């Protein structure tokens, strides 16, 4: 089973600059996971991001889904979960120095609990499935210092082991694009 693949992005610096330019200042230095209003449209206005997705033929599937940020303070762990919200695959792009920051993948025989995110819009993309760590075994570990694509339906957690605030850009592929994605990345 493929869990993730590291990818090379030619215009990475420009994407990082663009995505950081609209990161809300008040979110700096606190752990949060969020989507801007009209998130896909907002990010696809950037030529850098559109060009990257166009090169894979996946722009329209991101447009149908959502784009968000995962920000994690130093030494903080996001508990084991699988994502929810009409997508399976995601591009995760580090916007800041992300060495010593890891995603661990797990296997388990136990069904997760659905957690309904407590936000004012009750955004489905913020719902997730929660696992108890005692029911899970680590199967792989990935350092998130360079861009990668992953299967968000495999239980995973995220740990920022560095001393720096870490921000990732998350570009979600609507499930209708799964076949295209799997072909492009030879999944």
Chain residues in the site for Fe ion (CB under 5 A): 83
- Is-contact 84 142, C-beta < 8 A? no
Which residues lie closer than 8 Å to 47 by C-beta, 6 or more apart? none
Residue 152 Cβ vs Fe ion, minimum distance, rounded to whole Å: 5
Percentage helix, strand, coil, to 5, in the chain? 25, 35, 35
Enter the tokens of residue 106.
């797990």
Residue nearest to Fe ion (CB): 83
Q: Smaller CB distance to Fe ion: residue 89 or 165?
A: 89
Residue 56 Cβ vs Fe ion, minimum distance, rounded to whole Å: 21
Residue 12 Cβ vs Fe ion, minimum distance, rounded to whole Å: 21
Taking each helix axis from N to C end, the angle separating 12-21 and 47-56, rounded to the nearest 10 degrees, works out to: 130
Q: Smaller CB distance to Fe ion: residue 83 or 151?
A: 83
Residue 156 Cβ vs Fe ion, minimum distance, rounded to whole Å: 6
Q: Smaller CB distance to Fe ion: residue 51 or 135?
A: 135
Q: Smaller CB distance to Fe ion: residue 18 or 83?
A: 83
Q: What is the rounded distance in angstroms from the CA atom of residue 60 to the CA atom of residue 64? A: 6
Residues, the chain, total? 187
Q: Smaller CB distance to Fe ion: residue 83 or 174?
A: 83
Residue 71 Cβ vs Fe ion, minimum distance, rounded to whole Å: 13
Biggest distance spanned by C-alpha atoms of the chain: 44
């Amino acid at each position: 089973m493929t869990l993730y693949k590291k990818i090379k992005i030619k215009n990475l610096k420009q994407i990082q600059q663009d995505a950081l330019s609209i990161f809300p200042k008040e979110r700096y230095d606190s752990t949060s996971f969020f989507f801007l209003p009209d998130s896909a449209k907002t990010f696809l206005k950037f030529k850098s991001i559109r060009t990257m997705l166009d090169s894979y033929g996946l722009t329209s599937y991101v447009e149908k889904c959502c784009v968000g940020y995962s920000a994690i303070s130093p030494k903080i762990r996001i508990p084991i979960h699988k994502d929810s919200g009409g997508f399976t695959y995601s591009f995760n792009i580090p916007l800041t120095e992300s060495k010593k920051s890891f995603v661990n993948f797990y296997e388990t025989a136990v069904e997760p609990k659905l957690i309904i995110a407590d936000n004012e819009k009750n955004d489905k993309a913020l719902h997730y499935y929660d696992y108890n760590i005692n029911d899970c075994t680590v199967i792989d570990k990935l350092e998130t210092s360079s861009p990668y694509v992953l299967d968000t339906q495999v239980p995973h957690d995220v740990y920022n082991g560095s001393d720096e605030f870490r921000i990732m850009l998350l570009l979600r592929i609507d499930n209708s694009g799964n076949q295209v994605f799997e072909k492009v990345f030879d999944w």
